[in-house]
Amino acid sequence: MPKGGVDDGADGVGEAAVLDEMDDGFNTDGDAPKGSKKKKKSKKSKKSVDMASQTQKKPSRLATLFKTRVMLREKEGVDYAEEARTTLRELIIYIFFLVLTCLMSFGMITSTHFYYTNAIDNLFGVGFGAKAITFSDISTAEDAWDWLEGPLVDGLFPTHYYNGEKLPISPGDVLEESKLLGTPRLRQLRVDNQSCADLIPDAFKDTIGECYAKYTLGDEDTAEMVPAVDGTRSVMNATAGAWTHQTEEETGSSWVIGKYASTKYSGGGFVQMLPRNHTTAAAVVGNLKELRWIDQGTRAVFVDFTTYNANVNLFCVGRYELEFPPTGGVIASQRLLTLKLIRYVTKYDTFLMVCEVIFCLFILFYTIEEIMELKVLGWSVFKHPWDLLDWVILIAAYIGIAFNVFRLFFMKEKLQEAIDNPDTFANFDRIAYWQWSYNTMAAVLVFVIWIKTFKYLSFNYTMTLLSRTLTACALDLLGYFVMFFIVFLAYAQFGYLVFGPTTFGFHTFQHSIYSLLRIILGDFDFYALVEANRVVGPIFFISYVCVVFFILINVFLAIINDSYVEEKTKLEHSEYESEMGRYIGGLWRGFKQSFKRKILRRKAKVDPNGEKMGGDGERGGENGESGDDFDGDPENGGISPTHGGSGGGPPVSPRGKGFAGVAGAAITMKAVNRFSKHSSSMRRMSMEIASAQQGMNSEMNARMVQMEERIGSIAAKVEALLVAMGNIEIAQVREIRRTSKLLNIDESGAVEVDA
């Protein structure tokens, strides 16, 4: 082909071949075109060869979908690129699973739960009585009765608006927004008056005839109570059942852990229902007070009720606890569980239902994946912590799914029972407990799912460095924690024994541990220790801060820092990291090159009408400028830039500006199309070759930098070795001189003696 010319006959085939090589020659790693080193083939034959090779080597889609990185590592000859692709696929799928789980968890709990709980708590926690105390300030039996007669009855059964206007008769309205389900219930637990008679010393047995021990299931009093009836006091019909004990099966309640010494209270007891009317309920509470329903044998009184707010579709299962410890006084506490027991009401609930269905499909997918891992690896799969975590997630997810199905059917039955029997206690205690347990389990599940993200990010340099740092310093940390807990528990025991009787933060050994942990974080009450003991308190505090905070904590940080520096040095040139980075970089470069090719193809397309380009060509001919007909048509007065022609002009390169030297020639639309395609294909080829060269140059520069760093480190070590050898030689010379001087002195002394 002549210089600067283009062969017309081979132009279309050449362009097609170039475009085919550019489209198919670049792999996903973004390397140089594969077709640049091969012979040009037709598009049809190349596609058939590629399809044949893919059908032979490519595994089934199902096997690829469930293939995991752990399964690949058990095979031989698996390169890092395939492992990186599998890891990336697992990470993308897991991100979708994580987002879906977060959406479901946010749908379970909202800020509305807090506001509803706070409203109910404030309703029964207002000041009352002559002392204007709140519920948490109750300290005597008299305060307990004042609260039962005041805030409890007034809050459950309001009678007037805030302006004094009388409310319409609508029993069960709470806070004007919620509905009381069933009737509230009072439940009392007692102990026998001889429950601790064996503990009374012999010197006091004549004066102390009764002894009421701490509540235990063995010391519970189930005998019928005797009301303090006299001529002016009698038992009402409404309170006749409050003096007879009922079992857990009869009450339908479960055991409760109290605040005082973590006492476990049974679900039975002496039960009294409060009618759904303010006047009757106040009369019932007053009658129980007159007949001394709470006496010396009482150990706990529970007030249970359930409300439902249709505005926000939330249930509040409330329990107010009044514990009467054997030490005297009253310990007040409450437990309010605000739960969404009725699901799928609003459009957002429907969206959550769809998310739950997709979540079940994800769980099924991961179940099949784990079964395939178990099939490939056998029981050794349980040796890996991440695989154990996968099974924990699956088991927790299946338990949650089963609970949701159970709740869906149980709630319909329970709610219908509460509506049909408004004068009985609506016992949502068990379902509330299981719902609370489910919420806690879901929180742990979401936490574990977040932590599992590190499994798919282990290819990252930072994540690898973190995991290896913790692994490298595990034994050192184990020894450190042994020393730390010895010192820490010594201080905890010391604080419990010295400050326990007078300071709340140390009144139990458990609270003593919490207080010492708070001191490490900077949250402490120094003056409480001083008030407890003016001499020992400051010494205890200062010594603890110096030993634990300034010494042990810094030793902990030093251990981790040393391991971090060591592992970072080892991973500076990690082969796995470079392979993973090369794979991801290749994907990115391939994407950019494909995007550039699409843009260049769009620019190469010409308007089918050809008005603009044709007009320009005609104007060029009229002005006497050059114009070439790439077909070499003599009718247009043009010349073939390849073969010359009758025009007599020399061959002109297509890259020349204006094609000067041939006057009066007009550029036709066909010539412009041919030139645009040819120039754009050549431009694409040059750009892609430049891009490939740039990638090779950058890689060579990176390798040169690494080589320079290594040579520099070797040179520094050689220089240090030479300096050390020079120092050794200097020391040897000095030693020889010193020895020679000593020998000279000895010889001179010997000569003097002989003389």
> Which residues, at least 6 apart from 534, have a Cβ–Cβ distance to it below 8 Å?
none
Among 48-57, 300-309, 381-390, 513-522, the range scoring the smallest mean pLDDT is: 48-57
* Final residue belonging to a domain, choices 339, 358, 381: 339
Can you tell me the distance from the alpha carbon of 42 to that of 52, in angstroms, rounded to the nearest whole number? 16
Per-residue confidence (pLDDT) for residue 681, from 0 to 100: 59
pLDDT band for 574, please (50, 70, 90 cuts). Answer: low
Same domain, 306 and 186: yes
Same domain, 330 and 366: no
Residue 743: φ, ψ to 5°: -65, -40
Alpha-carbon distance values, 497 to 115, 504, 527 (Å): 41, 12, 18
Can you tell me the distance from the alpha carbon of 306 to that of 314, in angstroms, rounded to the nearest whole number? 11
Pick from 274, 275, 255: nearest CA to 265: 255
Same domain, 216 and 307: yes
Report yes or no on 322 lying in a domain.
Answer: yes
Alpha-carbon distance values, 347 to 107, 344, 353, 354, 355 (Å): 12, 8, 10, 11, 13
Report yes or no on 285 lying in a domain.
Answer: yes
Can you tell me the distance from the alpha carbon of 319 to that of 269, in angstroms, rounded to the nearest whole number? 15
Can you tell me the distance from the alpha carbon of 552 to that of 532, in angstroms, rounded to the nearest whole number? 27
pLDDT score of 463 more than 50? yes
Per-residue confidence (pLDDT) for residue 664, from 0 to 100: 40
pLDDT band for 46, please (50, 70, 90 cuts). Answer: very low
Mean predicted confidence (pLDDT) in 321-333: 95
Per-residue confidence (pLDDT) for residue 90, from 0 to 100: 85
Range of the domain at 519: 469-570
Per-residue confidence (pLDDT) for residue 231, from 0 to 100: 64
pLDDT band for 487, please (50, 70, 90 cuts). Answer: very high
Report yes or no on 585 lying in a domain.
Answer: no
Pick from 369, 363, 370, 401: nearest CA to 388: 370
Report yes or no on 496 lying in a domain.
Answer: yes
- Give the torsion sign (CA, 341, 344, 345, 350): positive
Can you tell me the distance from the alpha carbon of 220 to that of 269, in angstroms, rounded to the nearest whole number? 9
Residue 323: φ, ψ to 5°: -100, 135
Report yes or no on 539 lying in a domain.
Answer: yes
**CB-CB contact of 135 with 333 (8 Å):** no
Residue 631 tokens read as: 């077909």
Same domain, 173 and 300: yes
Same domain, 320 and 211: yes
pLDDT 10s digits, 525-554: 999 999 999 999 999 999 999 999 899 999
% of the chain surpassing 90 pLDDT: 37
Among 27-41, 120-134, 342-356, the range scoring the smallest mean pLDDT is: 27-41
Can you tell me the distance from the alpha carbon of 495 to that of 673, in angstroms, rounded to the nearest whole number? 92
Pick from 124, 135, 126: nearest CA to 178: 124
Residue 11 tokens read as: 């132009």
Same domain, 303 and 414: no
pLDDT score of 208 more than 70? yes
Per-residue confidence (pLDDT) for residue 747, from 0 to 100: 56
Can you tell me the distance from the alpha carbon of 162 to that of 135, in angstroms, rounded to the nearest whole number? 22
Same domain, 395 and 436: yes
Per-residue confidence (pLDDT) for residue 447, from 0 to 100: 93
pLDDT 10s digits, 87-114: 788 888 999 999 999 998 888 888 999 9
pLDDT 10s digits, 615-632: 444 444 444 444 444 344
- Give the torsion sign (CA, 272, 275, 276, 280): negative
Same domain, 229 and 191: yes
Residue 678 tokens read as: 């040819």
Q: What is residue 644's three-state secondary structure?
A: strand
Residue 234 tokens read as: 């009698």
Mean predicted confidence (pLDDT) in 159-173: 77
Highest mean pLDDT, choosing among 13-17, 52-56, 230-234, 403-407: 403-407
Residue 317 tokens read as: 């299962």
Is 478 or 730 the better-scoring residue by pLDDT? 478
Q: What is residue 186's three-state secondary structure?
A: strand
Beta bridge partners of 319: 304, 335
Per-residue confidence (pLDDT) for residue 627, from 0 to 100: 41
The pTM of the full predicted model, rounded to 2 decimals, is: 0.66
pLDDT band for 684, please (50, 70, 90 cuts). Answer: low
Phi-psi region of 164 (alpha: psi -120 to 50; beta: other; left: phi over 0): left
pLDDT 10s digits, 272-285: 999 988 999 999 99
E-state strands within 30-184: 173-174, 178-180
pLDDT band for 19, please (50, 70, 90 cuts). Answer: very low
Give me Rg for the CA atoms of the chain. Answer: 44
Report yes or no on 168 lying in a domain.
Answer: yes
pLDDT 10s digits, 473-483: 999 999 999 99
Same domain, 310 and 229: yes
* Final residue belonging to a domain, choices 295, 312, 339: 339
pLDDT band for 680, please (50, 70, 90 cuts). Answer: low
Domain count, the chain: 5
Same domain, 211 and 300: yes
pLDDT 10s digits, 334-372: 999 998 888 888 898 899 999 999 999 999 999 998 888
Beta bridge partners of 524: none
Can you tell me the distance from the alpha carbon of 35 to that of 70, in angstroms, rounded to the nearest whole number? 35
Residue 358 tokens read as: 């997709």
Among 11-20, 475-484, 727-736, the range scoring the smallest mean pLDDT is: 11-20
Phi-psi region of 624 (alpha: psi -120 to 50; beta: other; left: phi over 0): left
Same domain, 122 and 259: yes
- Which domain CATH number covers 544? 1.10.287.70
Q: What is residue 508's three-state secondary structure?
A: coil
Cβ neighbours of 321 (radius 10 Å)? 19
Q: What is the dihedral of CA 587, 592, 594, 595, to 10 degrees?
A: 140
Is 67 or 573 the better-scoring residue by pLDDT? 67
Residue 264: φ, ψ to 5°: -100, 115
Is 559 or 701 the better-scoring residue by pLDDT? 559
Same domain, 327 and 206: yes
- Which domain CATH number covers 362? 1.20.120
**CB-CB contact of 189 with 245 (8 Å):** no
Residue 655 tokens read as: 């890259």
pLDDT score of 440 more than 70? yes
Per-residue confidence (pLDDT) for residue 163, from 0 to 100: 84
Pick from 338, 311, 318: nearest CA to 110: 338
Per-residue confidence (pLDDT) for residue 588, from 0 to 100: 78
Burial (0-12, 13-18, 19+ Cβ within 10 Å), 541: middle
User: How does the average pLDDT of the chain come out, rounded?
Assistant: 78
Report yes or no on 135 lying in a domain.
Answer: yes
Among 304-318, 371-385, 657-671, the range scoring the smallest mean pLDDT is: 657-671
Report yes or no on 734 lying in a domain.
Answer: no
